[in-house]
Chains A and B, each alone.
Chain A
Amino acid sequence: MIDSIINVSVDLWNWFPPGWQTFLEILGKIILIVLPLMIAVAYTTYAERKIISYIQVRIGPNRVGPRGWLQPIADAVKLMFKEIVLPTNANRFLFLFAPILSIGPALAAWAVIPFDRGMVLTDLDAGLLYILALTSIGVYGVIIAGWASNSKYAMMGALRSAAQIVAYEIAMGFALVGVLMASGSLNIGMIVEGQSGGLSSWFIWPLLPLFLVYFISGVAETNRAPFDVAEGESEIVAGFHVEYSGMAFAVFFLAEYANIILIAALTAIMFLGGWLSPFEGLAFAQGTWLAETSMLWFFAKTALFIFCFLWFRATFPRYRYDQIMRLGWKVFIPVTIVWLFVEAVMVVAEIGPWAA
């Protein structure tokens, strides 16, 4: 019985022409990445509500399902059945297109993220550049949403967000220049391999200032607290998505959390050695799973940074707008430039990871 099923499926597979087989294979891989990602996004919202609740000595969602585990599903169902209201004189096409522009890059960037050695959709040589390019496109969703809504609050939010993202992208790019100086490659797999050798050879140590700049800029790029002036509830209601309802709003929400997970994963890859084990080469872990490289390490490191995102939100008050700009332009960019010079000196003098 089982043999015949396998035979039929193999026959069916061989029946496709080779071009189609490649296409179907890639499509299958994309589904394998996007589907778990969407589930992770849904449960990141749950994690956010729960973690912030516990930090504020509350219980958080606990009605839907055991311990509230079905809450994200209930939220999704609710949002799907809500009406999408089109504001008067809104630009209809752009209004509905903006959420797609927002989530598209957030998902497309996962094409070059390696989950384990060789476990990547596209082993792109210029992977780092691809990531930078795609994260910079995400801002269009916000800008277009703000403009197409025909609302002043939305417009304010869009303008704030545009200025903020452009400012922090430069610091982020410079921080990544440091990473590629350390690894000598733009390929993300090679960047991770360059950090092999246990906890002490991760890039976080020689590049500590760049790590801090990168992660904080990442928080700013995703418009998360304490840099969430684009939504700023107390000032401009909900910023760029004030006019959105139902599924259109939900897609913005998904994009925001997909971006959070993306930034967390990227920080884990660039500075904490991605899928590499922290106990590599240590005596006590020798021969056990602890010393092995595996996807679990990647997920654990990513989860750590996602937790930091939620922790920040519960801890810090919102930055004032001029302070955000000051931090981005006058603090982070000089810090990264200075550290790039320090790094160049270290490379030439063969200090730290560059020791011959």
Chain B
Amino acid sequence: MNFTDLVFYFFSAMLVLAGLGVIGSRNPVHSALFLVLSFFSCSALWLLLQAEFLAIVLVLVYVGAVMVLFLFVVMMLNINLAQMRQGFVRYLPLGVLVALVMVVQMVWIVGPVGPDVFGGEQLNQAVQHAPDHSNTSELGKVLYTDYVFAFEVAAIILLVAIVAAIALTMRRREMTKYQTPGKQVQVRKSDRLRVVKMDAETSK
């Protein structure tokens, strides 16, 4: 077992443990933090596969933005833990069934049966690149040439989603008071200040 394998097994074990932590921990905030840890381990695994762009973007988008907002919401909620765990036994068989099906599927693809069904020569063809190979520019070239249509469609869908999210939450409330900074800045001294001339008071 060489060093790369050791790193792989370390981060894989971490990923599995963090995944168990997400569903197993009693506190929702801990669950969210375990999810962050699993994203990190996943990104380390991608780095091992020489996909540094994807790895860094995973951290940037999911850890840096999505999970921050997630934590934000989870911390604000006052979750009743007892109520949340009530259905655990009832839903357990269904969950186990789904998990089993997924495991069987993955074993089927990766395991001994897979190569015959899905084309064994496809599986071991990861090209080894020199350390100075730029994964990022390679990805960019493909995204903006061969897949430019799909890429633009995805971008437009995201844009629509942003606009929709803003439109859904934007409503004018009657009671809120707020200033318009543009008007505040334009205020002139002559509009509100009146200098009154009067004699100084003198004691008699």
A residues lining the B interface (CB < 8 Å): 19, 94, 124-126, 129-130, 132-133, 136-137, 139-140, 143-144, 147, 155, 158-159, 162-163, 165-166, 169, 186, 322-323, 326
- Which of B13-21, B70-78, B88-96 binds A? B70-78
Complex A-B, nearest 6 residue pairs according to Cβ-Cβ distance, in ascending order:
A136-B64, A133-B60, A133-B59, A129-B56, A125-B134, A126-B136
User: Nearest Cβ distance between residue A217 and chain B, in whole angstroms?
Assistant: 14
Measured between beta carbons, the chain B residues less than 8 angstroms from A124 are 52
User: Nearest Cβ distance between residue B77 and chain A, in whole angstroms?
Assistant: 12
Q: Is B35 an interface residue (CB 8 A)?
A: no
Contact of A139 (CB < 8 Å), options: B33, B53, B68, B137 = B68
Q: Report whether A162 and B68 are in contact in the complex, using a CB–CB cutoff of 8 Å.
A: yes
User: Nearest Cβ distance between residue B86 and chain A, in whole angstroms?
Assistant: 24
Contact of B65 (CB < 8 Å), options: A136, A143, A158 = A136
Interface residues in B46-73 by Cβ distance below 8 A to A read 52-53, 56-57, 59-60, 63-65, 68-69, 71-72
The chain A residue sitting closest to B53, CB to CB, is A126
A159 to B3, alpha carbons, bound, how many Å? Answer: 41
Q: Report whether B68 and A129 are in contact in the complex, using a CB–CB cutoff of 8 Å.
A: no
Given contacts A132-B64, A136-B68, 10 further A-B contacts (CB under 8 A): A126-B56, A126-B135, A129-B57, A136-B59, A137-B64, A139-B68, A140-B36, A147-B29, A169-B64, A323-B181
Please report the total number of B residues contacting A with Cβ < 8 Å.
Answer: 26
Measured between beta carbons, the chain A residues less than 8 angstroms from B33 are 94, 144
Contact of B63 (CB < 8 Å), options: A125, A137, A162, A322 = A137
- Known contacts A132-B60, A133-B59, A159-B76: does B68 contact A126 (CB below 8 Å)? no
A166 to B72, alpha carbons, bound, how many Å? Answer: 11
Q: Which DSSP category, helix, strand, loop or mixed, fits chain B's interface? A: helix
Q: Report whether B59 and A162 are in contact in the complex, using a CB–CB cutoff of 8 Å.
A: no
Measured between beta carbons, the chain B residues less than 8 angstroms from A186 are 136
Measured between beta carbons, the chain A residues less than 8 angstroms from B3 are 19
Measured between beta carbons, the chain B residues less than 8 angstroms from A133 are 56-57, 59-60, 63-64
Q: Report whether B71 and A143 are in contact in the complex, using a CB–CB cutoff of 8 Å.
A: yes
Contact of B68 (CB < 8 Å), options: A19, A94, A140 = A140
User: Nearest Cβ distance between residue B21 and chain A, in whole angstroms?
Assistant: 13
A129 to B59, alpha carbons, bound, how many Å? Answer: 10
A-B contact count (CB 8 A): 71
User: Nearest Cβ distance between residue B62 and chain A, in whole angstroms?
Assistant: 10
Contact flags (1/0) for B178-191 with A, using CB distance below 8 Å?
10010000000000
A19 to B178, alpha carbons, bound, how many Å? Answer: 63
A126 to B59, alpha carbons, bound, how many Å? Answer: 13
Measured between beta carbons, the chain B residues less than 8 angstroms from A323 are 181
Q: Report whether B65 and A155 are in contact in the complex, using a CB–CB cutoff of 8 Å.
A: no
User: Nearest Cβ distance between residue B55 and chain A, in whole angstroms?
Assistant: 9
- Known contacts A125-B52, A125-B136, A144-B33: does B178 contact A159 (CB below 8 Å)? no
The chain A residue sitting closest to B134, CB to CB, is A125
Q: Report whether A136 and B29 are in contact in the complex, using a CB–CB cutoff of 8 Å.
A: no
Contact of B69 (CB < 8 Å), options: A126, A140, A166 = A166
A15 to B41, alpha carbons, bound, how many Å? Answer: 34
Q: Report whether B72 and A126 are in contact in the complex, using a CB–CB cutoff of 8 Å.
A: no
A252 to B112, alpha carbons, bound, how many Å? Answer: 52
Measured between beta carbons, the chain A residues less than 8 angstroms from B52 are 124-126
Measured between beta carbons, the chain A residues less than 8 angstroms from B60 are 129, 132-133, 136
Q: Report whether A166 and B65 are in contact in the complex, using a CB–CB cutoff of 8 Å.
A: yes
Q: Report whether A136 and B56 are in contact in the complex, using a CB–CB cutoff of 8 Å.
A: no
Q: Report whether A169 and B65 are in contact in the complex, using a CB–CB cutoff of 8 Å.
A: yes
- Known contacts A125-B52, A144-B33, A186-B136: does B68 contact A155 (CB below 8 Å)? no
5 cross-chain CB contacts under 8 A: A126-B53, A158-B75, A159-B75, A163-B72, A326-B181
Q: Report whether A129 and B136 are in contact in the complex, using a CB–CB cutoff of 8 Å.
A: yes
A169 to B60, alpha carbons, bound, how many Å? Answer: 10
A158 to B71, alpha carbons, bound, how many Å? Answer: 11
Measured between beta carbons, the chain A residues less than 8 angstroms from B181 are 323, 326
Measured between beta carbons, the chain B residues less than 8 angstroms from A165 are 68
A152 to B137, alpha carbons, bound, how many Å? Answer: 47
A147 to B178, alpha carbons, bound, how many Å? Answer: 30
Measured between beta carbons, the chain A residues less than 8 angstroms from B57 are 129, 133
A345 to B137, alpha carbons, bound, how many Å? Answer: 22
User: Nearest Cβ distance between residue A78 and chain B, in whole angstroms?
Assistant: 32
A182 to B181, alpha carbons, bound, how many Å? Answer: 34
